[in-house]
Structure 1
Amino acid sequence: MSDSGRGTEYFWCTRHHRVETDKDVCPAVYVLGPYRSKADAENALQSVQERNEAWDEEDRRWAGEER
């Protein structure tokens, strides 16, 4: 169990390109997360890309640069 009391947490390690748990996680500089499931951690990079694209679009709308 993690310190948060929520059970196992999962992380995507950008150094090793794998899912790690709260029991064997690399230093924070190398990981994304925590995630509630292994599947969520496996999809971390896709989630980051989708979120960045949405934020970029929001920034363009805010700046009046709609396409």
Structure 2
Amino acid sequence: MSDSGRGTEYYWCTRHHRVETQADICPAMYVLGPFGSKSDAENALQSVQERNEAWDEEDRRWAGEER
């Protein structure tokens, strides 16, 4: 169990391109997470891409580029 009390947390390692847990986690500079499931960690890069695209779109709207 993690320190947060939520159970196992999963991380995506950008260095090794694999899911890791607290038992085998790389330094923070290499991981994305925590995620609540292994599947969510496996899809971390897709989630990052989708969030970045949404934020870029919001920035364009805020700057008035969509008018």
TM-score of the pair, normalised by structure 1: 0.96
Q: Hey, what does 1:63 align to over in structure 2?
A: 63
Q: Hey, what does 2:40 align to over in structure 1?
A: 40
Letter in 2 for 1:63: A
Name the SS for the 1:15 alignment partner. Answer: coil
Q: Tell me which moved more, 16-25 or 45-54.
A: 16-25
Count residues with an aligned counterpart. 67
Residue 10 of structure 2 is aligned to residue 10 of structure 1? yes
Alpha-carbon distance between aligned partners in 2 of 1:20 and 1:66, rounded to the nearest angstrom? 41
Letter in 1 for 2:24: D
Alpha-carbon distance between aligned partners in 2 of 1:9 and 1:22, rounded to the nearest angstrom? 7
Q: Report % sequence identity.
A: 88
The CA deviation at 1:9 is 0.2
> Which runs of 5 or more structure 2 residues have no equivalent in the other structure?
none
The CA deviation at 1:23 is 1.3
Alpha-carbon distance between aligned partners in 1 of 2:10 and 2:54, rounded to the nearest angstrom? 24
The CA deviation at 1:10 is 0.1
RMSD: 0.9
The CA deviation at 1:66 is 1.1
> Which runs of 5 or more structure 1 residues have no equivalent in the other structure?
none
